[in-house]
Chain A
Amino acid sequence: DIQLTQSPSSLSASVGDTVTITCRASRTISDYLNWYQHTPGKAPKLLIYAASNLQRGVPSRFSGSRSGTDFTLTISTLQPEDFATYYCQQSYSSPRTFGQGIMVQI
């Protein structure tokens, strides 16, 4: 199975900050990497697919990039509603796998 490791282990930020979350794959997955936002009590929400494609309806302050097996989610100008847990997920092969998640806290 492909392992995904997210960093940092925790993240504290303020409204207006720019935050960056990294996801490293245990082997090459090309750009088959998605990012999700999960707020307690709600269904997870797709933000970015295929490493850098913004899902329809998602604000443009969210962006994704790839360098080899390292993937980055950047949130520019953090808004109050962005405080949530963020997961990466690989869709290169089955079984699909998620990263462990990173909570962005105030």
Chain B
Amino acid sequence: QVQLQESGPGLVKPSQTLSLTCTVSGGSITSGGYYWTWIRQHPGKGLEWIGYIHYSGSAYYSSSLKSRVAMSVDTSENQFSLKLESVTAADTAVYYCARDYYDSSGYYRIDNWGQGTLVTVSS
């Protein structure tokens, strides 16, 4: 059973960089058929897709965040990471890492999620 677990600071100062890591256990991050994804939920709001990365390193980011976002993969540690630069209070949210699975028919779905981690941006 593959499990995902987010880790990182729960408090980040404005203008600094938010850094989170997702550790994948019970399976390899290099297994085919997956894009490793970050999603967030602002307090009291809906889900917002941030982006995804393939173990090969190819990534795609949200239109609204792409100027501040970078994702990476560490295959040796079976982890993938999120960096969000120049954060403001508007970046306060629960951040989820997740697995976007694509099957042989070409259909994608997010079938596995971490529990989420609250990141607060405040001085």
Contacts and interface: CB of A to CB of B under 8 A. Distances in A.
B96 A46 contact: no
Contact-residue bracket for chain B: 20 to 34
Interface string B102-113: 000101111101
Given A98-B49, A101-B47, A34 B110 contact: yes
A53 B105 CA distance: 13
Contacts, number: 62
Interface of B: 46-49, 51-52, 60-63, 96, 100, 105, 107-111, 113-116
Interface of A: 1, 32, 34, 36, 38, 42-46, 49-50, 53, 55, 85, 87, 89, 91, 94-101
Q: Which 6 A-B pairs have the closest CB atoms?
A: A91-B108, A43-B113, A49-B109, A101-B46, A50-B107, A94-B60
